[in-house]
């Protein structure tokens, strides 16, 4: 009995600390529902253990106490088991390269280049009706949108104009004479440099053909030209967006935050690019609106995380609340090992579906991974999604806002991330609790 009493005391202290931590964290994050439930848990938890300790001599109380201790022991045992069924190998043999002319930004700008539009729609007549409908809506940043603001909308436009000006820096002079490089040391330094300038993660991977676009499509001067990329390696830079800003999705703060982080990730990519060129090796920065490569498959290949149901990259700590930029180079580097949480993210996405349930334009698949470009992978209905962007005047991000991974990197959320990285049972329970504490269906804000 004395042992049980001691265990009761230890557990009551640990669980009370956890509940208090969760309550404190919910208050700081301004999560009203979670705050109310965390307070209820704190009170209920204190009451339960206090009841066991005070009435331990009553027979039925001691039986009940024992049953609770066995349940806690089982919970801890299951919680630490690490097992995920092996992931289905992706068949990439039939993969078709992505053509930049097919992305929505490229198709939207065809309205300003009638000759290119004629060429494109001659090859893709089925896309003309939907594209013309989307092209008819005001551009992001113009008056007429639901979330337009005369003072803040020009701010994200200024950020994108700045990025446009940095395009010329993506290529530049390489110092004469290649210096001898210690591959391991250089790879470590590049990753450290990225993190010291604000990246939350930096990965390296060999460049494969499916990582690159097939043709240029964003600008009239090289529209339709084949992309010829000779570089061998890619450095992927991950920057985290502020969760507090993403909570306003799909209202204006979202695009203020995404544009801000595009600028941050571009800054890091340009510094790394210049750094490598200084050693006599060619390098190119790939930043917002100026890509030759696909950032998401590169980030997955670099072992930084997984492809999420919403068709974007999921980082083990920051989830989809990140932006990416890339540096490609002829310099040989040491690839980063695969992140050990990749399988757990993929398994979580298979069962969660919160983004699909909440997407205002129903652009996200609710069932199995769809097949597109010749292989099975998560991808969204880009026309529906982009059309919604041009209706509201922001880049929406509501799927990122509702994702259970979009939580600040605090101790309590780290514990939860560790818990869901162990096995599918933990994930189911965590998802149930996420729905309970944060909600399953989210209303979209009218404005901010
Ligand atoms: S909301 Fe759920 S299903 Fe969607 S990306 Fe996030 S974890 Fe995956
Ligand atoms: S950005 Fe918005 S519209 Fe697009 S997939 Fe996400 S939730 Fe849906």
> Mind listing the pLDDT tens digit for each residue in 180-209?
999 999 999 999 999 999 999 999 999 999
Ramachandran region, residue 410 (left: φ > 0; alpha: ψ -120 to 50; beta: rest): beta
Rg (CA), the chain: 25
pLDDT given for residue 1 in this prediction = 65
Question: To the nearest whole percent, how much of the chain has pLDDT over 70?
Answer: 99
**Exposure of 25 in the CB half-sphere (CA atoms within 13 A):** 20
Distance (Å) from CA 143 to ligand 1 centroid: 32
- Average pLDDT in the 85-93 region? 82
pLDDT for res 85: 85
- CA dist 254 → 40, 131, 243, 258, 320 (Å): 32, 24, 10, 6, 13
pLDDT at residue 87 tops 90: no
- Does residue 340 or residue 92 have the better pLDDT? 92
Q: For the chain, which residues make up each domain, given as ranges?
A: 100-402
Rounded to the nearest angstrom, the distance between the alpha carbon of 397 and the centre of ligand 2 is 6
Return mean pLDDT, the chain. Answer: 95
Distance 180 CA to ligand 2 centre (A): 47
User: Using one digit for the tens of pLDDT, what is the confidence trace for 97-128?
Assistant: 999 999 999 999 999 999 999 999 999 999 99
Give nearest CA residue, ligand 2 atom 3: 385
* CA of residue 115 to ligand 1 center, whole Å: 40
Question: What percent of the chain is modeled with pLDDT above 90?
Answer: 90
Question: Which residue's CA lies nearest to atom 7 of ligand 1?
Answer: 349
Token pair 């801890």 is found at 76
pLDDT above 70: residue 175: yes
Determine the Cα–Cα distance for residues 176 and 180; give it in Å rounded to an integer: 13
Q: pLDDT tens digits for 243-300?
A: 999 999 999 999 999 999 999 999 999 999 999 999 999 999 999 999 999 999 999 9
Mean pLDDT of 333-341: 88
pLDDT at 265 (0 to 100): 98
pLDDT surpasses 80 at 339 = no
* 314-329 residue pLDDT tens: 999 999 999 999 999 9
Which ligand 1 atom is at minimum distance from the Cα of 348? 7
Q: Please give the distance, rounded to the nearest whole angstrom, from the Cα atom of residue 310 to the centre of ligand 1.
A: 7
Tell me: pLDDT of 420 over 60: yes
Cβ–ligand 1 distance for 405 under 6 Å, the answer: yes
- What is the atom index within ligand 2 of the atom nearest the CA of 358? 7
Q: Output the pLDDT for position 86.
A: 81
353 CA: nearest ligand 1 atom: 3
Does ligand 1 come within 6 angstroms of the Cβ of 106?
Answer: no
What's the pLDDT at 448? 47
265/259 Cα distance (integer angstroms)? 10
Taking the complete model, does pTM exceed 0.85, yes or no?
yes
pLDDT digits (tens, 9 = 90+) for 24-35: 999 999 999 999
């Amino acid at each position: 009995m004395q042992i049980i009493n001691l265990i009761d005391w230890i557990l009551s202290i640990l669980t009370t600390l956890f509940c208090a931590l969760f309550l404190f964290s919910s208050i700081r994050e301004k999560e009203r529902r979670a705050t109310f439930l965390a307070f209820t848990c704190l009170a209920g938890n204190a009451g339960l253990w206090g009841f066991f300790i005070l009435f331990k001599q009553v027979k039925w109380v001691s039986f009940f106490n024992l049953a609770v201790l066995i349940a806690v022991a089982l919970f801890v045992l299951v919680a630490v088991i690490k097992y995920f069924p092996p992931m289905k190998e992706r068949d990439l043999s039939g993969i078709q390269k992505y053509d930049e002319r097919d992305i929505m930004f490229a198709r939207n700008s065809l309205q300003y280049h009638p000759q290119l539009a004629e060429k494109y729609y001659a090859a893709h007549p089925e896309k003309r009706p939907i594209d013309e409908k989307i092209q008819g809506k005001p551009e992001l940043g113009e008056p007429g949108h639901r979330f337009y603001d005369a003072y803040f909308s020009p701010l994200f436009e200024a950020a994108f104009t700045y990025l446009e000006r940095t395009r010329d820096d993506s290529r530049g002079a390489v110092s004469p004479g290649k210096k001898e490089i210690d591959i391991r040391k250089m790879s470590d330094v590049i990753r450290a440099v990225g993190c010291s300038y604000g990246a939350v993660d930096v990965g390296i991977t060999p460049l494969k053909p499916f990582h690159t676009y097939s043709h240029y499509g964003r600008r009239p001067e090289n529209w339709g030209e084949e992309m010829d990329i000779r570089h061998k390696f890619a450095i992927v830079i991950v920057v985290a967006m502020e969760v507090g800003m993403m909570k306003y999705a799909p209202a204006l703060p979202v695009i203020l935050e995404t544009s801000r982080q595009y600028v941050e990730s571009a800054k890091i990519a340009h510094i790394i690019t210049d750094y490598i060129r200084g050693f006599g090796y060619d390098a190119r920065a790939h930043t917002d609106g100026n890509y030759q490569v696909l950032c998401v498959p590169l980030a997955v290949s670099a072992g930084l995380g997984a492809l999420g149901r919403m068709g974007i990259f999921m980082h083990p700590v920051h989830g989809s609340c990140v932006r990416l930029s890339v540096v490609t180079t002829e310099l040989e580097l040491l690839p980063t090992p695969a992140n050990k949480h990749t399988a757990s993210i993929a398994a979580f996405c298979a069962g969660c579906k919160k983004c699909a349930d909440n997407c205002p334009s129903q652009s996200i698949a609710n069932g199995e991974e769809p097949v597109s470009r010749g292989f099975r992978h998560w991808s969204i209905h880009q026309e529906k999604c982009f059309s919604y962007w041009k209706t509201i005047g922001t880049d929406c991000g509501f799927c990122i806002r509702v994702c259970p991974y979009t939580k600040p990197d605090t101790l309590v959320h780290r514990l939860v991330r560790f818990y869901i990285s162990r096995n599918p049972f933990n994930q189911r329970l965590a998802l149930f609790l996420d729905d309970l504490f944060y909600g399953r269906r989210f209303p979209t804000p009218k404005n901010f």
